[in-house]
Structure formats: C-alpha cells, structure tokens
Amino acid sequence: AQSVTQPDIHITVSEGASLELRCNYSYGATPYLFWYVQSPGQGLQLLLKYFSGDTLVQGIKGFEAEFKRSQSSFNLRKPSVHWSDAAEYFCAVGSMEYGNKLVFGAGTILRVKS
C-alpha cells in the first residue's frame, strides 16, 4: 500500500535558523513527490516537486528538497526560516500508474519563534 510518513507533527525553530522537515514514503510505482504548504483555513500551495532528473530540487520561497531513492525520502529544507514560513507542510506522493492520485502525509506544523 502507498503511504507517506511525516514523523514530526510539530517543529519549532527560531527565525533565521535552518529547517529540515522529514518525509518518507512507501510506494509501489515510480513516484512523483511534492511538498505543499497550507496556512490556516486556506488551500494548499505547491512548494516544489520532483518528477525525475536532478535529485535536488529548488522551490519557491527559498525551499529545496532532496530525493533519496535508497532511503525513500524527500526531505524539505530551508537555510534560514522567516516568521512568515509558519504554516503546515504536507509531503505527497503520486504516480501516473495510480491515476495521478496523491497520497498525503499527516503534515508537520511549523512554528517560528522570534
């Protein structure tokens, strides 16, 4: 069965500190991987995606993620967090083999302290 694990429910970092949000997946097909961000009461905004090629992908707002096939991971990173980054972050995996459906992780709530 397909699944996505985000082991950290909450993470608190200081403004200006670096950030890494973890994502592991279990998937029976060639995965496409995504990170989305959601502010309270809002929809999801795509931060970045990995389809193929370079395993280090750059996204919006200074985020990047690295696909590591051997570890089935797609961790999200940012070198310096801003207070406006406080939100909930979702990792998702999909595949054309599974009808383009996305499987989401449980989400990680990021708190930024000043």
Partner 1 sequence: GAVVSQHPSRVICKSGTSVKIECRSLDFQATTMFWYRQFPKKSLMLMATSNEGSKATYEQGVEKDKFLINHASLTLSTLTVTSAHPEDSSFYICSAILAGVEQYFGPGTRLTVT
Residues near partner 1 (CB under 8 A) are 32, 34, 36, 41-46, 49, 51, 90, 94-96, 99-102, 104-107
Min dist. Cβ of residue 33 to partner 1 (A): 10
Q: How far apart are CA 44 and CA 42, in angstroms?
A: 7
Shorter beta-carbon distance to partner 1: residue 50 or 112: 50
Q: Residue type for 69, please? A: R
Nearest to residue 77, comparing CAs of 100, 93, 61? 61
Shorter beta-carbon distance to partner 1: residue 70 or 99: 99
